[in-house]
Amino acid sequence: MPLYHFHEMQHAALAPMRLMAQTMQTMFTNPWMPFAHTNTGRSLAAGAELFERITRQYPKPPFNLPITEINGHKVAVHEEVVMQLPFCNLLHFARDGAAKTDPKVLLVAPMSGHYATLLRGTVEAMLPDHDIYITDWVNARDVPLSKGDFTFASYVDYLRSFLTFLGPNTHIMAVCQPSVPVLAAVSLMSEDKDPCRPASMVMMGGPIDTRQSPTAVNEFADTHEMSWFESKVVHTVPMSYAGRGRRVYPGFLQLSGFMSMNMDRHMNAHLHYYRHLIKGDGDSAEKHREFYDEYLSVMDLPAEFYLDTIRWVFKEHALPEGTLMIHDRRVDTKAITDVALLTVEGERDDITGAGQTIAAHSLCSSLPDDLRKHHLQPKVGHYGIFNGRRWREEILPHVRDFIRAHGARAEKQRAA
């Protein structure tokens, strides 16, 4: 039986047990039930909730960013889908009463297994000072076969379409995986003298050149043949989804890979969660739920895009080697002469090693020094680059100042 079909069958087979667990959890947390106030009752309720959460399929979470604060005043935020393509929606966070002079930022979320909501903290921190648009990638299992394939070149095409829609003086910010297609798109737009090429590009923890400080992720890709990836991790979407018959890299496989890198940490987190439930520590339990509701919510990737990425980014290093082709056209990063470049790396990043993102500067050799900057954030891992306290307090100020400065520069150049 195909793996994807087996996974769905297993989930369906556990449905009665999940229902029983939900019933037990409800019963033993009901304050009118005397047994709920005993240690045994709390233990049974905690175990039931833990089982239900472990065996659940998690839906796409909401961004849930209804308000932001601008100049000390709270303003409403409205999510608007302003452009729709088969594999991606361009989502705008429209702010009531925001200054029209705030820089327009296209935030490119990674298509790597998690939804764009993984960048909720990134969006939330940037909203007070930026007009934010984000690539909200669609789960490949929900895209009908009639919509065609989605390749690495398609990704680049989508980025160019979004930048054209947003117009001149947009800033583009890539978080992790999209750094390579972003650099490719900006290179092609620069070579074409496209007036909608961005004013600046920010690359955070991106695998521009994975030969630098290779991590376990890089070594895994490098030590397996392409035929292994095609036969072992690419599967067909079952009949129960709109994308039935589409070849994908399933999100549940990507999730298992992520979790296996830090299995002890995840096991301990769930053990602590169980103990928090028994103790009645609601705040700690809720923090666990919030994190894992996001972390365990995954999406499938189109097989063509996934295999292209493995081949061109992790095995052939096509961009730094100068051999990357988009629709039979070679990507020339030297064509970038006026799009400012900021790269950000985390000192403890175990997914994108130090040196992999800063490599973009050597590729963009035609950029003058006053249009480039690099920031290495101490004591931060991969996710800390774009989420958490250090992102908000130490990294964001560099990003904000860089975008403001080069937005003003681009405006002056166009007015001249």
Q: Would you list the DSSP string of 350-411?
A: SSS-TTTTTHHHHH-TTS-GGGEEEEEETT--TGGGTSSHHIIIIIHHHHHHHHHHHHHHHH
Which of 290-299, 323-332, 401-410 is the most confident on average?
A: 323-332
Same domain assignment for residues 14 and 163? no
Provide the pairing of β-strand 131-137 with 104-108.
Answer: parallel
> What is the value of pTM for the model shown?
0.90
Please tell me whether residue 161 adopts helix, strand or coil conformation. helix
pLDDT at 5: 74
Distance CA 136, CA 93 (A): 12
Phi, psi of 27 (to 5 degrees): -65, -45
pLDDT at 285: 65
- Per the structure, the complete domain to which residue 376 belongs is given by 67-221+301-415
Contacts of 340 (CB under 8 A, 6+ apart): 199, 200, 201, 367, 371, 372, 373, 402, 405, 406, 409
Is the residue at 14 inside a domain? yes
Same domain assignment for residues 204 and 259? no
Q: Other C-beta atoms within 10 Å of 121: how many?
A: 18
Is the residue at 289 inside a domain? yes
Distance CA 7, CA 236 (A): 12
pLDDT at 109: 98
Same domain assignment for residues 291 and 308? no
CB-based burial of residue 80 (10 Å sphere; 0-12 exposed, 13-18 middle, 19+ buried)?
Answer: exposed
Same domain assignment for residues 34 and 72? no
With bands split at pLDDT 50, 70 and 90, how would you rate the model's confidence at 131? very high
Same domain assignment for residues 137 and 268? no
What is the number of helices (H) and of strands (E) in the chain?
Answer: 16, 14
pLDDT at 393: 96
Same domain assignment for residues 75 and 135? yes
Contacts from 42-45 at CB under 8 Å and sequence distance 24+? 42/277, 42/278, 42/280, 43/278, 45/277
pLDDT at 216: 87
Domain boundary (237, 267, 295) is at: 295
- Average pLDDT of the chain is 89
Same domain assignment for residues 210 and 277? no
Contacts of 89 (CB under 8 A, 6+ apart): 81, 83, 136, 138
Same domain assignment for residues 202 and 307? yes
User: 158-162, 282-286, 370-374: which range is least confident on average?
Assistant: 282-286
Is the residue at 237 inside a domain? no
Distance CA 247, CA 238 (A): 10
Distance CA 353, CA 133 (A): 28
Q: Is 280's pLDDT higher than 70?
A: no
Distance CA 48, CA 29 (A): 11
The pLDDT > 70 percentage for the chain reads: 87
Q: Is 166's pLDDT higher than 60?
A: yes
Same domain assignment for residues 181 and 322? yes
Cα-atom radius of gyration of the chain, to the nearest Å? Answer: 23
Same domain assignment for residues 125 and 213? yes
Same domain assignment for residues 27 and 136? no
Domains contained in the chain, number: 2
Q: Other C-beta atoms within 10 Å of 66: how many?
A: 11
Is the residue at 245 inside a domain? no
Contacts from 287-291 at CB under 8 Å and sequence distance 24+? 289/53
With bands split at pLDDT 50, 70 and 90, how would you rate the model's confidence at 156? very high
Domain boundary (237, 269, 295) is at: 295
Q: Is 182's pLDDT higher than 70?
A: yes
Query: What H or E segment, with its residue span, contains residue 340?
Result: strand 340-346
Query: Tens digits of per-residue pLDDT, 53-108?
Result: 676 787 899 999 999 999 889 999 999 999 999 999 999 999 998 778 899 999 99
Domain boundary (295, 319, 353) is at: 295
Is the residue at 107 inside a domain? yes
Is the residue at 281 inside a domain? yes
Is the residue at 39 inside a domain? yes
Compute the residue count for the chain.
416
Distance CA 87, CA 355 (A): 31
User: For position 352, which CATH number holds?
Assistant: 3.40.50.1820
Q: Other C-beta atoms within 10 Å of 246: how many?
A: 23
Q: What is the mean pLDDT of residues 100-119?
A: 94
Same domain assignment for residues 348 and 217? yes
Is the residue at 112 inside a domain? yes
**Tokens standing for 250?**
């399933």
**Tokens standing for 283?**
């705040």
Query: Tens digits of per-residue pLDDT, 221-279?
Result: 889 999 999 999 999 999 999 999 999 999 888 877 666 656 677 677 656 655 665 66
The one-letter code for the residue type at 289 is R
